[in-house]
Amino acid sequence: MDDLERRARDAERELYNLGITFTVYSDRDAVDRILPFDVIPRVLSPEDWKQIETGSRQRVTAINLFLNDIYHKGHILKDGVVPADLIKGNDNYQPAMEGFDLPHGTYVHICGIDLIRDEKGAFQVLEDNGRTPSGVSYVVENRHLMMRAFPDLSEGLAIKDVSDYGVRLHAALCDVAAPAKGDPQVVLLSPGVFNAAYFEHVFLAREMGVPLVEGRDLFVENDRVYMRTVGGPTHVHAVYRRLDDDFLDPLAFNPASMLGVPGIVAACKKGNVTLANAIGTGVADDKATYAYMPRIIRYYLGEDPILPNVETNICREKDGLDYTLANIDNLVVKPVGESGGYGITVGPHASKRQIAACRKAVKADPENYISQPMINLSVSPTLIDGAVEARHVDLRPFVVTGRDSWVLPGGLSRVALPKGSLIVNSSQGGGSKDTWVLG
């Protein structure tokens, strides 16, 4: 145990030294933190991984077909499989995308799918992240850290490699890039150094071998996007953007945005640059839309979901609202527009005051809420204060899609470090583990 603790301290010190951090905006006392790293890896069998890999690919295929449909003919809405007002009235639906064709029909080029494992060991999807999912840098860095700190632990094991993520991502972005005379120029567009995930932006640009830029580094001329360089303007064909739709282009969305690039949406609609992920993908990963994903998969693919959803009650529907209000003490209630674990009420762990506040909020704005049963997340051995204890975990595999889809082996295992906690988000005190997929 002494040796394990010593190596864990060394690993944590290395995270500080390498600057592998994230920012918690709500914490006034800390600007940057390291993501707590647990040195005991999570191991997935080949059988588990086969289900996760095929299920994740199936889900992303259905999401892209869904987005292409709702921004064109809208068959799934006309057939009543998904309520039209849920989609057309969604804050993340972008009319600017209507009738616009994307290379290979790919809207979500990078997707993170949050999975949990229930009491029976079955994997279930908790939510989809189809806008700007974060965390993949920790997957790769956790592996590098484990191999340096515990080179003896993996001896004789066939563990699937994760180190080629950047190469795969760059190849996918080149697949969908606007036509170029030579190799397409790809850039990563970041909001800047004060963004919570800035470390990841630096990491991914380095792994792909592409420039890391901010909005002020790009400009649009004659509906083409150029990057300012010391050698003169360089034509850009694909932009991996890590800022939300609202801030992307002050001419198309929020006119007060200082982070985006004026005219980049018009350049995209002319087919002169590709944005990854595409504009308007947030409508597909909304928590209310999530509830319809099993039906969306069956509608487009004629298959049952390989990875089922967690049972979800939609409060905008009378039955879902009635059930939620009648059983709120036993449910997890979530606002559909939030992320990062904010705004969630875990009924069985909430105080009477918190329950009353949640009930009042749901009654006042039912369309903004869903509820789910509280699932006892699976646990994984975790090093806590010199002892090995069980802590709840989830898993976020990452799917990269250009011409076709590839799933990074493993994904981000997040762990809820406080005893009994079910919230694994880094902004809420969670940490991470290396994830080993055995081959």
pLDDT at 293 over 90: yes
Q: What angle do CA 84, 85, 90 make, to 5 degrees?
A: 110
Q: What is the pLDDT of residues 317-374, one digit of tens each?
A: 899 999 999 999 999 999 886 655 667 898 988 999 999 999 999 999 998 899 999 8
Task: Among 234-238, 332-336, 389-393, 423-427, name the one with the lowest average pLDDT.
Answer: 423-427
Structure-block tokens of residue 403: 């011409």
pLDDT at 21 over 70: no
Picking from 268, 282, 226, the residue whose alpha carbon sits closest to that of residue 102 is: 268
Percent share of the chain, pLDDT over 70: 94
| CB-based burial, 261-298: b 16+ in 10 Å, e otherwise | bbbbbbbbbeebbbbbbbbbbbbbbbbbbbbbbbebbe
Structure confidence at residue 1 as a pLDDT band (50, 70, 90):
confident
Q: Phi and psi of 33, rounded to 5°? A: -130, 155
Q: Phi and psi of 437, rounded to 5°? A: -100, 120
Structure confidence at residue 423 as a pLDDT band (50, 70, 90):
confident
What does pTM read for this prediction?
0.90
Percent share of the chain, pLDDT over 90: 72
Picking from 136, 147, 185, 203, the residue whose alpha carbon sits closest to that of residue 406 is: 136
pLDDT at 212 over 70: yes
Integer CA distances (angstroms), 220 to 226, 260, 274, 278, 282, in order:
6, 11, 13, 18, 25
pLDDT at 29 over 70: no
pLDDT at 367: 87
Q: What is the pLDDT of residues 195-211, one digit of tens each?
A: 888 999 999 999 999 99
